[in-house]
Amino acid sequence: MLFQSSVPMVMNRKNGELNTAATAARKREAAKRLNYFHSSQLEELESLLNTYFSEPDKLQKVCLNVVRKIIVNLSQIYLQPPKRELVNGTDRDKEIYQQILENSAFDAKIKQCSRYVKLLGNVLVRPTYRKNAISIDVLTPNILDIETGDSPEELVKVLLTDFGASEKIEDIEYSFWTTETWQRLYRGNPIQEAENPYGVLPFIPCFDWIYYRYHNPWLSGQVES
């Protein structure tokens, strides 16, 4: 799912300086790649058939998920579960550390992060506290609007799109983060606001180094005129 129309308005109201055309292209590309990876490419397939064939309804549609197989083969770093050890910690520290790893499904989330980086070129990892336990979110580019500083790794502002269960674009909510504040936005207006308790943006950017070398990972994509 990818809605775009209200994002530029929200970011402009927050004085975000974005190349909105390139950002929209990047988000569309990310959404398409995720669809292919998760075997939801039927809509894209039908669009291609309608473009290149005069009678596409007569063709039998077959979907083979080659994308997922390639990405899994490229993401070999977590082929075997890693061994993690907390050094120079007390017994209690080690116990808490193991609880964090288990409650957050850390190995599974990092494996997912590795695959998504190969698939998409970049993601954000967000440590968070949910249901009385530490959790980890892997956030993909199709739901992210980013303003950076001197490098793509220097995050200045992050707008996170929350589609929720509604199909209506006006019902989409956003989380807007700076180092000073956090806001929950609905229809472009703040409905909840608080001081950022961390003092930093609680996101870790992860990039595929080849993709990072040749692209601005937050603004890349073919700009449509």
pLDDT value at residue 16: 43
- The pLDDT assigned to 199 comes to 92
Distance CA 161, CA 176 (A): 9
Mean pLDDT rounded to a whole number for the chain: 82
pLDDT digits (tens, 9 = 90+) for 69-85: 999 999 888 777 788 88
Q: Could you please report the per-residue DSSP string of 65-86? A: -HHHHHHHHH--TTSSPPP---
Counted domains in the chain: 1
Q: Is 107 helix (H, G, I), strand (E, B) or coil?
A: helix
Residue 106 DSSP class: H
* In-domain check, residue 32: yes
Residue 222: inside a domain: no
Whether residue 148 lies inside any domain: the answer is: yes
- The string of pLDDT tens digits covering residues 81-139 is 788 888 888 999 999 999 999 999 999 999 999 999 999 999 999 998 888 888 999 99
Residue 179 lies in a domain: yes
Q: 116 lies in which domain range?
A: 17-214
Cα 133 from Cα 136, distance rounded (Å): 10
pLDDT at 168: 67
Reply yes or no on whether the pLDDT at 225 is more than 50: no
Residue 154 lies in a domain: yes
Domain presence at residue 11: no
For residue 12, tell me if it sits in a domain: no
* CB distance 11 to 24 below 8 Å: no
Question: Mind listing the pLDDT tens digit for each residue in 182-207?
Answer: 999 887 788 999 999 999 999 999 98
Torsion of CA 14, 20, 25, 28, to 10 degrees: 30
> Is residue 225 in a domain?
no
